[in-house]
Amino acid sequence: MIALIDGYDTAMFDLDGVVYLGPVAIPGAVEGMAALRERGVRACYVTNNAARPVETVAEHLSELGFPATVDDVVTSAQAAVALMREELPAGTRVLVAGTRNLVDMVAEAGFTVVDSAEDAPGAVVQGYDPVMTWPRLDQAAYAVQDGARWYACNTDSTRPTTRGLVPGAGVAVYAVQVTTRTEPIVTGKPFRPLMAEALRRSGARRALLVGDRLDPDIAGANTVGIESCLVFTGVHGKHDLCAAEPAQRPTHIAWDLPALTGPARVAVAGADGVRCGDALASAPGGVARVEGDLSTVEGQLDALWALAQLVWAGGVSDYEQALGELNSVH
């Protein structure tokens, strides 16, 4: 059997919703990662979370059963600081709207960290902070309006937890954006800086990005021209997949991380519709329907992949009923 992961030397993983949910590993992920290591696939963890030091992230991964070092973790904060070093003179005053980790990284990069727009910062860098205050956002907005160059580590609107979705860093970024009518320079996925930094640090020759969101994960892979796999253990699901714009469409889909060592799904278009495994998706009169063994998750994923290809090709006016038959997939 040829596995989905075969042919890739590096697997790049988003964290929340793919590897873990907060303090808990996603079921099967530890075993799945071990199977990848046995095949000689390097794991690189690529996260938009700028709140924690890479040492803390690596330690957390290791505690959960994913052996990791700081060299295996790439964050949007690292990408932001790397870009700032390219674009700003050493010693530039920078106002940081983020955690202590981001403050320390900016200072260690040779910039002068300031706390107020009254200090005339030349740049603002903003990242996720669970205790972000309105006064801190006020200072960021003042500085941006005064002409400071504005970097945002990521613009994720939500963040998955074991209790459900909560507001992400993008909510705070949006507050500054609508106030200043200014667009930030975003370094996290789906934008190029983080993905380019991950490719550089990992030394990947042929990488696969594994994520639970079309945007930013899958879109981030497409930005730098690498292949991707959407898994269904996090945020996005079947409705999002079928409605995906071209820039957000994955190369593969799989139920979870362990499925990377299973066979890849292949969809083939024919006169009667699109087939994947034993499943067939067709759209007589523009209304989609799916056929095949839908009693298992794998069978439903085959049908979903066939349906997605059919919808993306155009000519399908209604596919909601077909999606409703895939009731094991969120």
Task: Catalogue the active-site residues.
Answer: 14, 16
Helices 134-145 & 169-180 angle (0-180, nearest 10): 40
Phi, psi values for residue 327, rounded to 5°: -80, 0
Complete edge-to-edge strand list for the sheet that includes strand 42-47: 73-75, 42-47, 10-13, 207-211, 227-231, 252-254
Single-letter amino acid, residue 35: A
DSSP state of 265: P
Single-letter amino acid, residue 185: I
Please answer whether residues 39 and 208 qualify as being in contact, where contact means their C-beta atoms are separated by less than 8 angstroms.
no
CA contacts within 13 A on the Cβ side of 311: 26
Instruction: Report the alpha-carbon distance of residue 124 to residue 88 in Å, rounded.
Output: 11
**Two tokens, residue 323:** 């999606």
DSSP state of 293: -
Single-letter amino acid, residue 62: S
Phi, psi values for residue 116, rounded to 5°: -140, 150
